[in-house]
Amino acid sequence: MRRILLLAAATGLLAACGGPDAATPLVYVSTPAADCGTFKLGQGEHLPVTAGECFVDAVRGGKLARLAVTRPTTEGDPIPYTYTSRLDGSVEVITDRRQDAFGTRTVTRDVCTGVTFGEHLEFASCTPQKE
């Protein structure tokens, strides 16, 4: 009886691991992300046109892309922004205000839509995300 139970358990285990798809390797498909650059802007400086166009084109084309921009506050404290496009055409915006001596000293995450580019990236709407 014990042999039968062990044989049944082993058969069940092998059946779970086997089957017609067991020999099929796992394939991960990913869309290559465009790196649109990392920029540290000074007072009055604007994002290069090529970087803005790179990011907006990727978003509108439904491709993954990343753009990192650090802008100074009026007092000169650096505020890093990381823009990451998503396949649905939205953009995740991470804003790091921890170095802003006169600000909230927080990191926020928004999901934005309707990206355009002039002197900087602008969005039609943004929704704050809770962590």
Determine the structural domain holding residue 40 and report its residue range. Answer: 34-128
pTM of the model: 0.75
12 within domain boundaries: no
Burial class for 73, CB neighbours closer than 10 Å (0-12, 13-18, 19+): middle
Q: How many domains does the chain have?
A: 1
97 within domain boundaries: yes
24 within domain boundaries: no
Per-residue pLDDT of the chain in tens (131 residues, 90 and over written 9): 444 433 344 444 444 444 444 454 554 445 568 999 999 999 999 999 999 999 999 999 999 999 999 999 999 999 999 999 999 999 999 999 999 999 999 999 999 999 999 889 999 999 999 86
